[in-house]
Amino acid sequence: MNLAVIGSGYVGLVTGACFAEMGNRVVCVDNDERKISMLNNYEIPIYEPGLKEMVERNSQSGRLSFTLDLAEAVRNSRIIFIAVGTPPEEDGSADLQYVLAVARDIARHMQEPKIVVNKSTVPVGTADLVRKVISDGLKARDLDISFDVVSNPEFLKEGAAIEDFMKPDRVVVGVDSLEAGKVMHELYLPFNKTRDRVILMAVRSAEMTKYAANAMLATKISFMNELSRLCEALGADVAEVRNGIGSDSRIGYKFIYPGVGYGGSCFPKDVKALIHMHRQNRLNPRIMQAVEDTNEDQKLLLVDKVKKHFGAKLDGLVFAVWGLAFKPQTDDMREAPAVVIVNALLAAGAKVQAYDPVAMQEAKRVLGQRKGLSYAADEYAALDGADALLLVTEWHQFRYPDFARIKQNLKQPVVFDGRNQYDPLQMRDLGFSYYSIGRP
């Protein structure tokens, strides 16, 4: 099929590359001239394992192209994916200005029937807004062209997005016409070889499914983080509790690891949006509000442990921070716990020596060049002259470090483990003062 993907950010780029990989002809559109120039030179503006190779392979084959020309992309495509950003407003609602602007552009340039697909995460009812904007635009041109608006939310994990798209657990498609459902099912047929993963439903149900999925996962994380505090107070080990409850097939082991809170582009934004939707409909978002509040508190837990050990004033102290991205296998620092932690340490008078295997450039953009903050060349350089180590993101290379070297480089053998990567008894035997999450 001929596809257009409007918006060449994280979702749009992965979507376009993966559809091209399955033999479709895909044109990705963006209004950022620099980004399009980079992509046409096989340079990827984000870090995602396997994406660069897939983009280069499909671009060279002629199945994938990048352009600033939205009009031509709309005219030449049967299916048009909207994959632009929906950043949160101050009240938590999603900003739909970019989605609706694309809808207006589609109406301005379409000359034959189209299927317009919302790939962006959008509030329930957005498809109706997109449909109205396109209808109004066609009326202004005195045209009567049929079109469908479909909801097809993405469920991509940063760091594993290629595999998630190519081997999906499910493909949620919200439609209001049989014909659009058949075309979307055909489009996803190559991804369904072992079993049919396409779940057809009403458009509004599909829009809600995306929020419900992310909110459920965020709830599991906040639940375990809250439970970890109780475990610590009562002398129980949250890691043992996690094994005990995770073995129950109704619960499972995924997303029940305690830590320093969730971050990224999805969970925080989607929980806020659900809270806003509740209030907009005069409902009380008790659970969602608790999930968000618990997460915000958890981001400061490691700093609280630091202050309990060293005292409230951290003037003159130096802290090494391992991990800045919100999770491993990405350079994304949106809503990252590390940002809150670094800012809190600096505000308390400390100095921070930070390192991340991938997110250093993004960290310099987000955190900036500030007094008391320096960026290390590697994880061990970050330890030089530091009074303690804070492990914030569980990159693989941090899991089995050289503990003798850590102890040698630090002024004091103190480790604050925000991801429970190390064994408390081993750390004690090695001579470390060791603090983790929810473990005695």
DSSP string over 99-152: HHHHHHHHHHH--S-EEEEE-S---TTHHHHHHHHHHHHHHHTT----EEEEE-
CA distance 120 to 98: 10
β-sheet with 318-322: strand ranges across:
373-375, 351-355, 318-322, 388-391, 414-417, 433-435
**332-344: b (≥16 Cβ within 10 Å) or e:** bbbbbbbbbbbeb
Annotated active-site residue in 18, 28, 231, 266: 266
Nearest to 393 by CA among 334, 346, 329, 344: 329
Active-site residue, 266 included? yes
Handedness of CA 108, 112, 113, 116 (dihedral sign): negative
Helix extents (H) in 188-285:
203-234, 238-246, 267-280
Displacement of CA 387 from its chain's centroid (Å): 32
CA distance 269 to 211: 10
Handedness of CA 336, 341, 346, 347 (dihedral sign): positive
Residue 29 backbone phi and psi in degrees, to 5: -115, 140
Q: Beta partners for 319?
A: 352, 388
Handedness of CA 283, 287, 290, 292 (dihedral sign): negative
> What pLDDT does 251 receive?
96
> What pLDDT does 37 receive?
96
Sequential pLDDT tens for the chain (440 residues): 999 999 999 999 999 999 999 999 999 999 999 999 999 999 999 899 999 999 999 999 999 999 999 999 999 999 999 999 998 888 888 899 999 999 999 999 999 999 999 999 999 999 999 999 999 999 999 999 999 999 999 999 999 999 999 999 999 999 999 999 999 999 999 998 788 999 999 999 999 999 999 999 999 999 999 999 999 999 999 999 999 999 999 999 999 999 999 999 899 999 999 999 999 999 999 999 999 999 999 999 999 999 999 999 999 999 999 999 999 999 999 999 999 999 999 999 999 999 999 999 999 999 999 999 999 999 999 999 999 999 999 999 999 999 999 999 999 999 999 999 999 999 999 999 999 999 98
In 3-state terms the chain splits into helix, strand, coil percentages (rounded to 5) of 45, 15, 40
> What pLDDT does 345 receive?
98
Nearest to 401 by CA among 318, 323, 299: 323
CA distance 427 to 440: 12
Q: Determine which helix (DSSP H) or strand (DSSP E) holds 174, and give its type and residue range.
A: strand 171-174
231 touches 237 (CB < 8 A): yes
Helix/strand/coil for 94: strand
6 contact partners, CB below 8 Å, separation of at least 6: 12, 29, 30, 70, 73, 80, 81, 82, 83, 84, 102, 105
> How large is the C-alpha radius of gyration of the chain?
24
25 touches 1 (CB < 8 A): yes
Q: β-strand 388-391 against 318-322: which pairing, if any?
A: parallel
Nearest to 1 by CA among 99, 121, 102, 81: 81
Q: Determine which helix (DSSP H) or strand (DSSP E) holds 396, and give its type and residue range.
A: none
CA distance 82 to 117: 6
134 touches 161 (CB < 8 A): no
209 touches 201 (CB < 8 A): yes
Helix/strand/coil for 249: coil
* 384 to 148, 305, 344, 354, 356: CA distances (angstroms): 60, 21, 21, 11, 16
- Tell me the two tokens of residue 168: 């999906």
> What pLDDT does 113 receive?
97
- Tell me the two tokens of residue 248: 């129950």
- Tell me the two tokens of residue 304: 């609280």
- Tell me the two tokens of residue 266: 């999805």
Say what the pTM is: 0.92
